[in-house]
Structure 1
Amino acid sequence: MPTLPFPLPEPPTLYAPLPALADAQREAAVVPVETADGGTAYLVTRYQDVRTVLVDPRFSRAAAARSEAAAADFGLGALATESMAGMDPPEHTRLRKLVVRAFTARRVEELRPRAAQIVDELIDGLLRLPQPADLVDNFSLPLPVKVICELLGVPADDRHKFHAWSDTMMGGPGSDPALMGAALYAMGEYFGGLIYAKRAAPADDLMSALIAARDEEDKLTEEELVRMCVGILIGGHETTANQINMILLTLRRYPEERDRLVKEPALIPGAVEELMRFVQLGNSVTSLPRVTTEDVELGGVSIPAGSVVLPGVAIANRDPQLYADTADVLDVARPDASHLSFGAGVHHCLGAQLARMELQEALRGLLTRLPQLQIAVPDAELRFKQGMIVRSVETLPVTW
């Protein structure tokens, strides 16, 4: 099995993994990759083995956060090392318990009517604009921003300010760590001001609850409070906004599947799972690296202790061992659309249920109210933000 270079080159299409990576998956569950500094990491390509990496405590996020190689080469910088994302139990468990109740399936369902209302308001606003209109600034970004801002207690009107910081912190391999650190510092200062104001005038929101946990129960430090708020705000809008755009681009590529959803909106909840399995939101590695705490045998490969391991979520979601000859087929009525896009184990995405609900309501609103919605530019004219760990279009002109 030849060693692959990392970072991997961009695939020739937005809608399928890099062919060399798909070839590697057929040959081996674990593929060595050569990092920019000449080191070796291990890219895991198959569904069950990626899931093992995500759930097995021998593959440690805390060890990866302490590893200079893992932190430097694989994106997200300090955001991945100085927050819950860079912790293992019991520290991770302690902090997660403080916020998990805000993201339960029951709580998210209580938020659904408000999310649907926001969808309708944004579509009303879109309809008042001349065509083509930018879907990013008028729908796909403000929808998750408004929802997470109301939940957390952040002014949604500040979205252009904190989204710029967020884009910088979502930098991929090779991003300037100084710029990422400066963005994290700026966002920390921003939340410091909000927390000061909330202490004087608490509200019925998650930030006020976290402040009470800090001030009244001493369950987290001031720095943990700030970093948790930063992580929730970024995680609560960045990926969902980009996922909406990539879902619409993918449905344009597969118009028969789009037409099925227009005619049968009852398929939308299951279609969201299938689209999350199928859509290539990033290039190849869309989950944070782990470092082995001991020698591990995985997929027939011996991985030494202290090795950087990369869970290749995007390619694992297309594993033919799971779906045989339909792994590369988009089927919005697929009854068994399993995917690892939200991760697994202790680092399973805290806001998974919220993201699902927002994607469902976004698709329901757009396809029901704007069944003739069309992206107004070809793929070749799309402009993507450079250096990000996820695919993020700068604008998405649409007509209806």
Structure 2
Amino acid sequence: MTDVEETTATLPLARKCPFSPPPEYERLRRESPVSRVGLPSGQTAWALTRLEDIREMLSSPHFSSDRQSPSFPLMVARQIRREDKPFRPSLIAMDPPEHGKARRDVVGEFTVKRMKALQPRIQQIVDEHIDALLAGPKPADLVQALSLPVPSLVICELLGVPYSDHEFFQSCSSRMLSREVTAEERMTAFESLENYLDELVTKKEANATEDDLLGRQILKQRESGEADHGELVGLAFLLLIAGHETTANMISLGTVTLLENPDQLAKIKADPGKTLAAIEELLRIFTIAETATSRFATADVEIGGTLIRAGEGVVGLSNAGNHDPDGFENPDTFDIERGARHHVAFGFGVHQCLGQNLARLELQIVFDTLFRRVPGIRIAVPVDELPFKHDSTIYGLHALPVTW
């Protein structure tokens, strides 16, 4: 990766307001929309702040997602590398043509039709947790009562991971995503979860069934004669982490935002058909995994009028792109009727989030059910006292005290 001394900023930049992107993004977009920035890893990279540039980069074949390459821009202090046991890349770290085949193998698990089949069970899970919330003491922490257990239980049932192990994998996930742990702590969490999933896949290979995603993938591999244990472990790793962390944080953030915007909340209460539009706007407003769109160039390529050379890293600041006034009028205004489907909160191009249909469905069921069954719900502390996750690579809330 090419290093230069002059940088315009050092990432990550802090959110001054929990509901808005860092204010420096506006300055960068105006003064230097494709600019050199420093990273916590000690690397430098190009940062993109315009929606058009981010979408162009993510759709270009000249950028790689290979996280094991020394050119890949890292948002943690030091890179996790294990020369003795290199981590098998999962979908998020694959490039074509390997990525295309691996994605095709599993994309059928996340179709709209498949999600509709899951809807009754997700509704049951949400109702059970709201039953427990209403029967419990007030105030309650919505993160522990609803936001975290619902997507965790859903992804566990989908994959075939025992939910009884949720405290273990949630703890590993939290440490892996934290910006405040040491490289050794992050490595320990990483290896612990990988070893756990390695053993789980081995057990399923001994008795594979059609009852869960991992079992179906094992049977599909056997039928094609292309069994790949390491690929299944990588897939389980990606889906388990992404399947609960992102949705859990969006449930909490979305609840706060809707409660803080009663005029917008009233619209979805009056017409639940608007809930999906509200979800798109919430995804755009927060863009909680904004640096998941990091890449590095595999050839010299021009983006936004700037030449990016082969081997140079690029961080698509998708939260900046999702607040680009050229893409969204009055971008800092929360408006559920703006029609924000062209946001990049789920990425763009070949790596666009595999589980986005599941995330949308879970959020829709949670918001519709929560505000119908607990109409008097309110935040139990001042908003400025809420513990937002400024210390994590995925934004969210550590806790959300509510009462009703």
Distance 1:289 1:76, change over 3 A: farther
Distance 1:90 1:175, change over 3 A: farther
1:234 aligns with 2:241: yes
1:399 aligns with 2:397: no
Distance 2:54 2:141 in 1: 36
* Aligned-residue offset at 1:270: 1.1
* Aligned-residue offset at 1:256: 1.9
Distance 1:372 1:76, change over 3 A: farther
1:132 aligns with 2:139: yes
* Aligned-residue offset at 1:160: 1.0
1:315 aligns with 2:323: no
Distance 1:28 1:9, change over 3 A: closer
Distance 1:289 1:113, change over 3 A: same
- Matched with 1:295 is 300
* Aligned-residue offset at 1:348: 0.7
CA deviations over 1:147-188 (Å, ceiling 9, x no partner): 11111111112211111111122244x753332222222112
Q: Secondary structure at the match of 1:53?
A: helix
* Aligned-residue offset at 1:28: 3.6
Give the TM-score taking structure 1 as reference length. 0.91
1:187 to 186, 193, 202: 193
Distance 1:81 1:396, change over 3 A: farther
Counterpart mapping for 1:1-400 below 5 A: 3-36=7-40, 39-62=43-66, 64-67=67-70, 70-71=73-74, 73=76, 77=80, 82-172=89-179, 176-203=182-209, 204-281=211-288, 285-324=290-329, 326-384=330-388, 387-400=391-404
Higher helix share: 1
* Aligned-residue offset at 1:9: 3.1
Q: Secondary structure at the match of 1:297?
A: strand
Q: Unaligned stretches of 5+ in structure 1?
A: none
The one-letter code matched in structure 1 to 2:26 is A
Q: Secondary structure at the match of 2:195?
A: helix
The one-letter code matched in structure 2 to 1:67 is P
The one-letter code matched in structure 1 to 2:200 is L
The one-letter code matched in structure 1 to 2:70 is S
* Aligned-residue offset at 1:32: 1.7
CA deviations over 1:211-240 (Å, ceiling 9, x no partner): 224455443522222121111111111100
Distance 2:60 2:137 in 1: 52
Distance 2:104 2:362 in 1: 23
Instruction: Give the stretch that moved more between structures: 241-250 or 74-83.
Output: 74-83
* Aligned-residue offset at 1:128: 0.6
Distance 1:5 1:104, change over 3 A: same
Distance 1:198 1:338, change over 3 A: same
Distance 2:223 2:57 in 1: 37
Distance 1:54 1:242 in 2: 24
Q: Secondary structure at the match of 1:286?
A: helix
Distance 1:81 1:387 in 2: 27
The one-letter code matched in structure 2 to 1:11 is R
Instruction: Give the stretch that moved more between structures: 119-128 or 180-189.
Output: 180-189
For the Cα contact (< 8 Å) 1:75–1:171, is it kept in 2? no
* Aligned-residue offset at 1:368: 1.2
Instruction: Give the stretch that moved more between structures: 64-73 or 81-90.
Output: 64-73
Q: Secondary structure at the match of 2:73?
A: helix
For the Cα contact (< 8 Å) 2:88–2:230, is it kept in 1? no
Distance 2:349 2:183 in 1: 28
For the Cα contact (< 8 Å) 1:76–1:170, is it kept in 2? no
Distance 1:216 1:130 in 2: 52
Distance 1:384 1:281 in 2: 11
Distance 1:234 1:274 in 2: 23
Instruction: Give the stretch that moved more between structures: 264-273 or 32-41.
Output: 32-41
**What's the RMSD between the two structures over aligned residues?**
2.4
* Aligned-residue offset at 1:317: 0.7
Distance 1:43 1:94, change over 3 A: same
CA deviations over 1:4-39 (Å, ceiling 9, x no partner): 332233121101111121122123431221235664
Q: Secondary structure at the match of 2:35?
A: strand
Distance 1:74 1:338, change over 3 A: farther
For the Cα contact (< 8 Å) 2:287–2:345, is it kept in 1? no
Instruction: Give the stretch that moved more between structures: 92-101 or 314-323.
Output: 92-101
Q: Tell me the percent identity.
A: 37
Distance 1:389 1:218, change over 3 A: farther
Count of aligned residue pairs for this structure pair: 394
For the Cα contact (< 8 Å) 1:277–1:338, is it kept in 2? no
